[in-house]
Structure 1
Amino acid sequence: MLAIIIPYYKLTFFEDTLKSLANQTDQRFNVYIGDDASIENPSNLLEKYIRKFNIVYKRFDSNLGGTSLTKQWERCIDLSRNEEWIMILGDDDVLGENVVESFYENLSEIIKEESNLVRFASQLIDGIGEIFSNVFLHPKLETAKSSYWRKLKRKTRSSLSEYIFKRNIYLQFKFRQYPLAWNSDDMAWLMFSDFKDIYTINSTVVLVRQTHLSISGKKDNLKEKNTSQLMFLKDLMNSRIIKLTKKERIELLYETEVSLKRKQKLTLVEWLQLAYEYIYIFSAIAILKFIRRFLIQLVR
């Protein structure tokens, strides 16, 4: 059975999310909604859908997402029973009508491949539900490391809502806490895969919303995003599970540096954090190139 977990906070697009669940061609799922002490009470809206699919709703007494979004995800998962598979669906994202059906149609092959992670194709939508991206497709079977590399190089995208993962692997690793939970999902997929391939279903799409209300769409949180990315980088470098070669470490460092600079000019602290990682790897050529890039920024 599949548990669909919704960490709820904003009412604005929530009905679109619920409607997409009511329209699923396969209703073999349970929905668990954890209300993060929101000022926007969804009770009246939930009354419209309470008989259309199985809903468990819990309003928490305190807001947790403001300080730790990953802890909010985890306490919402704790509402669920013993379903083997879990999806965390954003309260503004939308499932294609045959997402659940496609999951069950592919389940025997997913089990055969021993995959802990299932991923769907995705598209981006705006505040009025209009699609503004191509469909992001993926290899049917792909290592989590390869998937993250493609994302880092801006060849694809990835977020929380288009994944389904096994409960037992989640309980083993949980979510790593970063500011805004930025990169927390990336680390989860790297850990949850547990050296097995991600299994992709490209025949249906999860619509992921990007607006000025979403973390990914906001522009006033770049400092927190950069801090998160550097924390993630350090964890990735030091991970005993995600083993990187020296060449991969240098490439990861460079791509991270490029990604950070794309958002805003790096601070001295951020340069020093990157410098520490380059020195730790100890590649003379990579260090010299890094120093050159740093000096170029200084004189600009």
Structure 2
Amino acid sequence: MLAIVIPYFKITFFEATLNALANQTSKKFKVYIGNDASPESPLYLLEKFKNKFDFDYKAFDKNLGSISLVQQWERCMNLVQEEEWLMILGDDDLVEPDFVACFYDNLEEIENLKINVIRYATIVIDENGNKVTPVYEHPKLEKATDFYQRKFTNLTRSSLSEYIFRKEILIKIKFKDFPLAWYADLLAVLEVSFFNIIFTINESVVSFRHSNLNISSDSKSHKRKNLAAFEFYYYLLKKKRQHFNYFQRDLILISLEKTFLDNKKNIYFWRRFSGLYLSGLYLKKYVLFMPKLIKSILKK
């Protein structure tokens, strides 16, 4: 069965999320809600949905999201019982009424193909529920590294709520604990799929809500996002480069270089960046990069 995990903190759009679950045409799912010591109790809302769908609710005493969003995700995931598939749904995101039904409609094929990561079509909505992008669809079967290439050439988008993971593999691999969990979801897609095939369900759409409550909208967290981006690119090049073709590796290198240039005064970045390039893996590229670095310094 399918487990839908909601790491809860903000109540603003939570009722809409619960309504979307109550309206599912298939009730073959269970919801696990983990309250990250929020000052906004959702109990009065949950009371309304008590007989609408099956859910467990846990109020944690300590707030973890402000320290490590990944740790909050993981303790919410630990609430899951016997379900074999797991998704993490944002407390402000929406799923269409046939979301769960479409999962089961495709499950036999998914199992036959030994798929570990399932992805849905998505659309971005604003705080009023208005659509602000077209629907993003994907190839039914796509290699995860090809998806990475499309993502980082601005041909598609990605957010955690659109994915369903095989629980056993996700629990074993875990999310990397990047600052603000920035890129942790994307890395999980790559690693849980073993850099292989993602199965897409385009017949049902997940709505990602973009509002001023999102981390992605918070300009104050720029430095932490930069650190997470650097760690993500560094990890791929240091540990996982064998899974990418030459063009894709170059994309990662370009992204790493850009992140480094934005943080060139950071000694930690200098040490990690130079160590990676001078290890012999990218010595020529390091030499070619130096003029860019000097030019960037002189511009300041």
**Would the TM-score normalized by the shorter structure come out above 0.5?**
yes
Distance in 1 separating the partners of 2:158 and 2:280: 28
Counterpart for residue 186 of structure 2: 186
Which residue does the alignment assign to 2:294? Answer: 295
Name the CA distance, whole Å, in 2 between partners of 1:178 and 1:105: 35
Question: What is the correspondence of 1:106-117 to structure 2 with a 5 Å cutoff?
Answer: 106-117=106-117
Q: Which whole-Å deviations, capped at 9, do the CAs of 1:234-286 have from their partners, x for residues lacking one?
A: 2212325963456643431113334x38xx94332246643443333544552
Aligned residues: 297
Q: Which residue of 2 aligns with 1:268?
A: 265
Mapping 1:133-282, distance limit 5 Å:
133-239=133-239, 243-244=243-244, 248-258=248-258, 260=259, 265-269=262-266, 270=269, 273-282=272-281
Q: Secondary structure at the match of 1:58?
A: strand
User: What is the CA distance between 1:92 and its match in structure 2?
Assistant: 0.6
Q: Deviations 1:161-211 (Å, cap 9, x if unpaired)?
A: 000011111122111101001111111111100243100011111000111
Offset at 1:126? 1.1
Amino acid at match of 2:232: F
| CA 249–64 in structure 1, closer or farther in 2 if over 3 Å, else same | same
Matched letter for residue 298 of structure 1: I
1:40-79 matches, cutoff 5 A: 40-79=40-79
Separation (CA, whole Å) in 2 of partners of 1:233 and 1:219: 21
| Structure 1 stretches of 4+ moved >6 Å | none
User: What is the CA–CA distance in structure 2 between the aligned matches of 1:173 and 1:188, rounded to whole Å?
Assistant: 8
Q: 1:185 to 1:14 in 2, by over 3 A?
A: same
- List gaps (5 residues or longer) in structure 1: none
Paired residue secondary structure (1:31): strand
Q: Which residue number corresponds to residue 126 of structure 1?
A: 126
Question: What's the TM-score once normalised by structure 1's chain length?
Answer: 0.92
Would the aligned equivalents of 1:253 and 1:274 in 2 still touch at CA under 8 Å?
no
Q: Distance in 2 between matches of 1:95 and 1:23?
A: 9
How far does the alpha carbon of each residue in 1:134-167 deviate from its partner, in whole angstroms, 9 at most, with x for none? Answer: 1111111112122122212222111110000111
**Contact 1:151 1:158 (8 Å CA) reproduced:** yes
Q: Which runs of 5+ in 2 are unaligned?
A: none
Secondary structure, aligned partner of 1:190 = helix
Give, in whole Å, the separation in 2 of the partners of 1:59 and 1:210. 26
- Match status 1:16 vs 2:16: yes
Amino acid at match of 2:29: F
Alignment TM-score, normalising by the size of structure 2:
0.92
Partner of 1:187: helix, strand, or coil?
A: helix
2:69 and 2:39 mapped to 1: Cα distance? 17
Mapped contact 1:7–1:36 kept (Cα < 8 A)? yes
Counterpart AA for 1:280? S
Seen in structure 2, the aligned counterparts of structure 1 residues 271 and 150 have a Cα distance that, compared at 3 Å, is farther
In structure 1, what is the Cα distance between the partners aligned to 2:270 and 2:122?
Answer: 34
Partner Cα distance (2:168, 2:56) in 1: 21
The alignment-based identity, stated in percent, is 42
